[in-house]
């Protein structure tokens, strides 16, 4: 009676629907004080002086902290290029510079939220403005204004793939398709803006209770900035109101820790609380990277893709954040999951004075997939070939050598997801190959009168996405399992630091712990979401949590059962799972084994376009996703539907506008996310279960995958409907009308 494959009700459901669950902003501690962070408010400047006297003169102001109060004034997941607080007085070179509007300048602690806000307004900051660099193409130029004067260039990372003879292949190609694609920034717009508490816990640890994705990384960043040993810092994750990558980098964590710690040094031991407004959240944390991707692909007339030459430019914004890895993914995925023998990719991550770019569901994959899949669909058109047939002729398989001069991990199922999706969307594989029959039942026919200005179309796309951290990162996940009882196991206790960001990870942990220990699920207790007493379990990102946590839980369960059989009571075992090693891109050729596992996905989308108003209405989506093993099918379906909704916002509606480094859409009234009326009428989730060789019980990660093919499938559907290719999105009504030549 395995619990795997059962849609166990979410363990957090009751608390969340009744309001009993406490998110960080709901938590209040006795005697707490309130914090506000002063943002730079300008995109590029040197701070000459900061005068806090008027703010500090307010009675109810407890303290104001500046750059000089931060012992090691820097952080950043990949490059420590971001000051905790900008301004003069710290040892970090050029930390007196602000590089985007949301750079943090001062931390105010006061007796009330209102006083803290008033104090922020009284802080006098003298800026000397610098030229604003907002266009990554300008920023790349040699004479560009440098954001970091101690670096030689605003290009902070570059990768190169070179395999085969690209120019020779183009010379021999029958068909060449060339395009320049531009993808937009995107705001995560998670339900709960950043909030949390900073305090000194009962063991004297500097503690923050916040919503994050990776407690141990946050612990590390705080300890580094404060110059403290790791074990003097503690990070607790209460309930988390969504993340999507938007909590992967620091926002309020270091400021909260700094304030609590510095106050204690002054003999004031009070918890500090902050809740960001939606506007602070939109200005204050990173966005999905805007990309410029120039793609040239060649094929023979039989539809054999022979060459791809791609230039990839990512607007990294003001700080690197996770850009180096996001760019790595885009570099890999911009040539798609296809067998292309001759590949050249040159990719660049570039600083600008825009909001920093960072992690967001798909992590460089959606941008790469947009370029790759639109190239595929354009090639299909040029060749007069069905887009599914073209994919099937080039689809990567177990023995396919990819652009990185290596094969994918065994168990490639791209052909399976394409086949399942295509069959459900009315294709069939006949003598002439894959074709779509005109009689297809999909998409559902319109009943009633059709209007002349409404045009319908369908589109198809596929994608692959890595599971877990790539390019040589020392991936690991830790778990501890205790088995209690005498003759039989009466209680299982799982210790794990993995975050449930709202995706249901902890429910799945419970199912997997029960399975690992061979007990019913109600015998499992969990100790979660706190760095204290736990080793690193890694981040809730990269579609890795079920895969990585599952393997750690499985390993700890097996080890604990071994001890149980040896009659240890209680039987307690820890286990750190380490997946097969990966390697980084070789500098010139990009040779590598970039990833240890992948998920595969295909989508068909039906749209209608109003050619007079430019509205694109997404009618129906079929998504076939190989998840390896569905631990909790309801949660899988939820992730597919959620990804489709989020991707439909990205593709159609969400228009994040920055002009000269100033955010023009800092409100949810101007940055439009979909309502229930804007999302597809129907999403059909096809869950395939071809086990992954190293995944726990065969699990593959899946939460990002359905996001990736969505935008290119919609673009193809719109082309089918109105005959226009869009190389840039979101497909706002105005952009569609311009594409149609109506304005």
Partner 1 sequence: MKPFEHHSPNSLEQAFDLITQDDNNSYYYAGGTDINLQLKSGILAAESLISLKNLSELKGIEYKENNGLKLGALTTLRELQRTKTIYNHYPALSQAAGLMASEQIRSFATLGGNLCNAAPSADLAPPLIALGAIATISSKFGEHKVPIEDFFLGPGETVLEEGEILMQITVPPPNGETLFIKHTPRMFMDISVVCIAIRLLMNNGICNEIRIALGAVAPVPLRAVNAEAELAAQPFSSNNISRAAQIAAEECSPINDIRGTAAYRRRMIEVLVRRGLSSLNENYSKV
Tokens describing residue 640? 């597919």
Nearer to partner 1, 172 or 681 (CB): 681
The residues that bridge with 36 in the sheet, in sequence order, are 108
Regarding 346 and contact with partner 1 (CB under 8 A), the answer is: no
Size of the site for partner 1 (CB under 8 A): 22
CA distance linking residue 702 with residue 467, whole number of Å: 8
Ramachandran bin of 364, using left for φ above 0, alpha for ψ from -120 to 50, beta for the remaining angles? left
How far is it, in rounded angstroms, from Cα 322 to Cα 303? Answer: 37
143: CB partners within 8 A, 6+ apart: none
The CA distance from 490 to 510, in Å, is 15
Please identify which residue in 478, 732, 739, 741 interacts with partner 1, judged by CB under 8 A: 732
CB of 15 to partner 1, least distance (A): 24
Which residue lies nearer to partner 1 by CB, 61 or 492? 61
* Min dist. Cβ of residue 679 to partner 1 (A): 10
In 3-state terms, what secondary structure has residue 449? coil
> Cα separation of 108 and 34, whole Å?
8
By CB under 8 A, what part of segment 653-672 binds partner 1? 653, 655, 657, 664-665, 669-670, 672
Nearest to 136 by CA among 284, 311, 297, 366: 311
Q: How far apart are alpha carbons 507 and 509 in whole angstroms? A: 5
What torsion do the CA atoms of 429, 434, 439, 442 make, to the nearest 10 degrees?
100
Which residues are paired to 108 by β-bridges?
36, 64
Q: Rank residues 54 and 521 by Cβ distance to partner 1 and give the closer one.
A: 54
- Give 447 or 669: the residue with its C-beta nearer to partner 1: 669
State which residue, 9 or 659, has the beta carbon closest to partner 1: 659
Q: Which are the contacts of 167, defined by CB distance < 8 A and separation ≥ 6?
A: none
CB of 617 to partner 1, least distance (A): 9
Q: 14 vs 657, which CB is nearer to partner 1?
A: 657
Q: Which of residues 174 and 678 has its CB atom nearest to partner 1 in the complex?
A: 678
CB 21 → partner 1: shortest distance, Å? 22
Q: Which is nearer to partner 1, 452 or 566 (CB)?
A: 452
Question: Under rule CB under 8 A, which residues in 587-616 are in contact with partner 1?
Answer: 612-613, 615
Q: Which of residues 107-136 bind partner 1 (CB under 8 A)?
A: 117
Distance CA 260, CA 275 (A): 16
Interaction pattern, residues 33-62, with partner 1; x per rule: CB under 8 A: ------------------------------
Region 484-513 residues binding partner 1, contact defined as CB under 8 A: none
Q: CB-wise, 431 or 677, nearer to partner 1?
A: 677
CB of 274 to partner 1, least distance (A): 18
- For partner 1, the binding residue among 71, 472, 691, 733 (CB under 8 A) is 733
In whole angstroms, how close is the CB of 668 to partner 1 at the nearest point? 9
CB of 730 to partner 1, least distance (A): 9
| 3 state SS of 543 | coil
Span of 47-55, 200-208, 363-371, 649-657 interacting with partner 1 by CB under 8 A: 649-657
CB of 138 vs partner 1, minimal distance in Å: 23
Binding mask 678-697 for partner 1 (x = CB under 8 A): x-------------------
Task: Name the minimum Å distance from CB 743 to partner 1.
Answer: 5
Least distance (Å) from partner 1 to the CB of residue 613? 6
Task: Report CA-CA distances (Å) from 317 to 99, 109, 212, 661.
Answer: 9, 29, 21, 9
- CA-based nearest residue to 443, from 194, 680, 141, 188: 680
**Residue 176 or 737: which CB sits closer to partner 1?**
737
Confirm if 615 and 733 have CB atoms less than 8 A apart.
yes
Element (H, E) at 663: strand 662-663
59 DSSP assignment: T
Binding residue for partner 1 (CB under 8 A) from 674, 709, 712, 739? 674
Among the residue ranges 151-159, 216-224, 585-593, 674-682, the one whose residues contact partner 1 (CB under 8 A): 674-682
For residue 216, give every residue at least 6 positions away whose Cβ sits within 8 Å of its Cβ, in sequence order, or none: 235, 497, 531, 535, 536, 537, 538
- In the complex, the smallest distance separating the C-beta of residue 737 from partner 1, rounded to whole angstroms, is 7
719: helix, coil or strand? helix
**Residue 432, token pair as written in the block:** 């002439």
In the complex with partner 1, the residue whose CB is nearer, 147 or 653, is 653
Minimum gap (Å) between residue 423 Cβ and partner 1: 32
User: Closest separation between CB of residue 364 and partner 1, Å?
Assistant: 27
Residue 135 or 612: which CB sits closer to partner 1?
612
Give dist(CA 466, CA 358) in Å, integer.
17
By C-beta, is 427 or 650 nearer to partner 1?
650
For the CB of residue 282, give the shortest distance to partner 1 in the complex, in Å. 14
Spatial CB neighbours of 97, under 8 Å, sequence gap ≥ 6: 44, 45, 46, 47, 86, 130, 147
Part in contact with partner 1 (CB under 8 A); list of ranges 211-219, 526-534, 555-563, 732-740: 732-740
Asked if 100 and 355 touch (Cβ cutoff 8 Å), the reply is yes
* Residue written as token pair 């602690």: 109
* Upper half-sphere CA count for residue 64 (Cβ side, 13 Å): 26
List contacts with partner 1 (CB under 8 A): 117, 612-613, 615, 653, 655, 657, 664-665, 669-670, 672, 674-675, 677-678, 732-734, 737, 742-743
């Amino acid at each position: 009676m395995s619990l795997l494959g059962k849609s166990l009700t979410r363990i957090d459901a009751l608390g969340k629907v009744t309001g009993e669950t406490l998110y960080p902003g709901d938590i209040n501690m006795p005697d707490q004080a309130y914090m506000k962070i002063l943002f730079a408010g300008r995109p590029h400047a040197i701070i000459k002086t900061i005068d806090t006297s008027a703010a500090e003169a307010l009675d109810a102001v407890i303290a104001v902290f500046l750059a000089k109060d931060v012992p090691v004034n820097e952080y950043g997941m990949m490059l420590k290029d971001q000051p905790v607080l900008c301004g003069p007085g710290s040892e970090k070179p050029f930390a007196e510079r602000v590089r985007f509007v949301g750079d943090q300048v001062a931390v105010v602690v006061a007796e009330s939220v209102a006083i803290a806000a008033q104090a922020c307004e009284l802080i006098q900051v003298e800026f000397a403005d610098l030229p604003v660099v907002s266009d990554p193409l300008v920023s790349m130029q040699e004479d560009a204004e440098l954001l970091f004067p101690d670096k030689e260039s605003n290009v902070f990372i570059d990768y190169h793939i070179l395999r085969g003879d690209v120019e020779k292949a183009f010379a021999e190609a029958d068909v060449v398709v060339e395009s320049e694609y531009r993808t937009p920034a995107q705001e995560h717009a998670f339900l709960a803006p950043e909030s949390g508490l900073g305090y000194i816990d009962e063991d004297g640890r500097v503690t923050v209770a916040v919503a994050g994705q990776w407690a141990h990384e946050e612990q590390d960043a705080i300890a580094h900035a404060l110059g403290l040993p790791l074990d003097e810092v503690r990070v607790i994750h209460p309930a988390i109101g969504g993340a999507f990558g938007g909590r992967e980098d620091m926002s309020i964590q270091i400021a909260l820790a700094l304030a609590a710690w510095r106050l204690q040094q002054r003999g004031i031991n009070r918890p500090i609380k902050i809740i960001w407004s939606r506007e602070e959240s939109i200005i204050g944390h990173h966005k999905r990277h805007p990309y410029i991707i120039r793609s040239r692909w060649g094929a023979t007339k039989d539809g054999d893709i022979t060459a791809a030459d791609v230039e990839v430019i990512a607007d990294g914004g003001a700080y690197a954040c996770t850009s180096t890895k996001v760019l790595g993914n885009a570099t890999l995925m911009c040539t798609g999951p296809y067998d292309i023998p001759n590949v050249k990719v040159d990719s660049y991550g570039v600083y600008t004075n825009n909001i920093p770019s960072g992690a967001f569901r798909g992590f460089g994959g959606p941008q790469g997939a947009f370029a790759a899949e639109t190239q595929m669909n354009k090639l299909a058109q040029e060749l007069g070939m069905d887009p599914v047939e073209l994919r099937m002729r080039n689809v990567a398989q177990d023995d396919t050598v990819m652009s990185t001069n290596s094969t994918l991990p065994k168990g490639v199922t791209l052909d399976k997801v394409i086949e399942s999706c295509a069959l459900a969307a009315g294709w069939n594989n006949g003598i002439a190959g894959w074709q779509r029959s005109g009689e297809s039942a999909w998409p559902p026919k319109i009943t009633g009168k059709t209007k002349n200005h409404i045009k319908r179309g369908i589109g198809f796309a596929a994608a692959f996405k890595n599971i877990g951290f790539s390019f040589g990162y020392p991936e690991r996940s830790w778990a501890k399992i205790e088995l209690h009882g005498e003759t039989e196991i009466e209680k299982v206790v799982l210790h794990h630091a993995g975050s449930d960001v709202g995706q249901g990870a902890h429910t799945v942990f419970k199912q997997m712990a029960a399975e690992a220990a061979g007990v019913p699920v109600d015998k499992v207790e969990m100790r979660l979401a706190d760095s204290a007493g736990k080793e690193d379990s890694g981040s809730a990102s990269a579609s890795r949590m079920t895969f990585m946590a599952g393997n750690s839980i499985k390993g700890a369960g097996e080890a604990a059962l071994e001890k149980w059989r040896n009659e240890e009571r209680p039987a307690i075992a820890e286990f750190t799972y380490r997946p097969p090693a990966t390697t980084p891109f070789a500098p010139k050729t990009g040779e590598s084994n970039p990833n240890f596992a992948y998920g595969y996905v295909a989508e068909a989308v039906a749209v209608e376009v109003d050619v007079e108003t430019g509205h694109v209405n997404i009618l129906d989506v079929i998504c076939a996703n190989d998840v390896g093993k569905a631990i909790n099918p309801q949660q899988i379906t939820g992730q597919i539907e959620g990804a489709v909704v989020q991707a439909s916002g990205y593709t159609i509606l969400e228009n994040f506008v920055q002009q000269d480094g100033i955010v023009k859409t800092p409100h949810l009234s101007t940055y439009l996310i979909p309502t229930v009326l804007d999302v597809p009428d129907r999403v059909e989730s096809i869950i395939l279960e071809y086990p992954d060789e190293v995944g726990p019980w065969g699990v593959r990660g899946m939460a990002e995958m359905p996001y990736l093919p969505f935008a290119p499938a919609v673009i193809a559907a719109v082309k089918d409907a109105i005959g226009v290719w869009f190389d840039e999105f979101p497909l706002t009504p105005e952009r569609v009308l311009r594409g149609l030549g109506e304005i």
